[in-house]
Structure 1
Amino acid sequence: MDLILWRHAEAEPGHEGLPDLERALTPKGVKQARRMGKWLDSQLPENCRILASPAVRTVQTAEGLGRKYKTHAELVPGAAPEAILQAANWPAANQTVVIVGHQPTLGQVAALLLTGEPLDFEMKKAAAWWFVQRDAEDPASLYLKAVMAADLVVK
């Protein structure tokens, strides 16, 4: 199974009166989402499943991919790393899954996959971390295929 963790792009700061889930991308964030979305689109199989947090900033990031996606209530800010893996059906899914979510949870998911502990790994805005587990029954078949930052994608 392939699992891509994609952190939302740059969002406007939170402030009094603006619920966290309603924070939108900045103009820079929109560009980051489009740039990373274009790169991901060129790499992903056609039949991949894309799940996004219902937060406005993650939905806008997912839209940068230009493919159909579904929002998933379990992917909200502060979700447990295990909830992310469960939503993706890791490692048993029979298709590639892209999760568009939040920090620190996505960094904790990456750490959990790589170390067995939900440590606070830093995941930059709009970055994508691509994991592959060749055999769902063999944790030793897990590897990190790619880490891509939005500023490294050719414009």
Structure 2
Amino acid sequence: MDLILWRHAEAEAGEPDAKRALTSKGSRHAARVGAWLAQQLPEQCRVLVSPAKRCLQTADGLGRRYTVHEALDTDSTPERMLETCGWPDHRFPALLIGHQPQLGELAALILAGTKQPWKIRKASVLWIKGSDAEDNLPFIRLAVGPELIGKLR
């Protein structure tokens, strides 16, 4: 199973946290990364999104249908997120659009076997492949941020 982690783009400061909207820069980054990612994702990829406004706005940049999941909200855990997407055994890939530090901890849990404070930058994507035939271990297929997306086209 492929698991794609996409951290929400830059958001405004303020309260309540769940209502924070993307900045104009964040909206540009979400649109840029979303348009590129839409071309890369398999058609059957499931898109799971945190209910926070900034994540919903980031997901809109993708231009695909998505499902909102409380398990991806700011108070979630990497274990709950993995359970929600069915890692590693689900039949179809999943794109999770969520928050730091949860996404970084989730990546560390999969790739290093323990929760660690790994950082995924705003609007960046970390694509993890479940395993390969060589050693049956998960690996990083792609790590890219919005500043590089224009160079990949």
TM-score by length of 1: 0.92
User: After TM superposition, where is structure 1 displaced by more than 6 Å over at least 4 residues in a row?
Assistant: none
Aligned-pair distance for 1:140? 3.4
Shift of 1:72: 0.2
Output one character per residue of 1:12-63: Cα deviation in whole Å (capped at 9) or x when no partner.
012xxx3110000000000010111011111101111000000000000001
Report the number of matched residues: 150
CA-to-partner distance for each residue in 1:66-97, whole Å, 9 max, x for gaps?
00001001111031110111111000111110
In structure 1, the residue matched to 2:145 is 149
Matched, 1:5 2:5: yes
By how many angstroms is 1:141 displaced? 2.8
Give, as a single letter, the amino acid of the residue that structure 2 aligns with 1:13. Answer: A
Match of 2:63 in 1: 66
Q: Percent identity?
A: 46
* Distance in 2 between residues matched to 1:134 and 1:108, nearest whole Å: 19
**CA RMSD, Structure 1 to Structure 2 (Å):** 1.6
Partner of 2:27: 30
Please list every run of 5 or more consecutive structure 1 residues that lacks an aligned counterpart in the other structure: none
| Equivalent residue number for residue 95 of structure 1 | 92
SS in 1 for 2:57: helix
Q: TM-score, normalised by structure 2?
A: 0.94
- 2:53 aligned to which of 56, 61, 75: 56
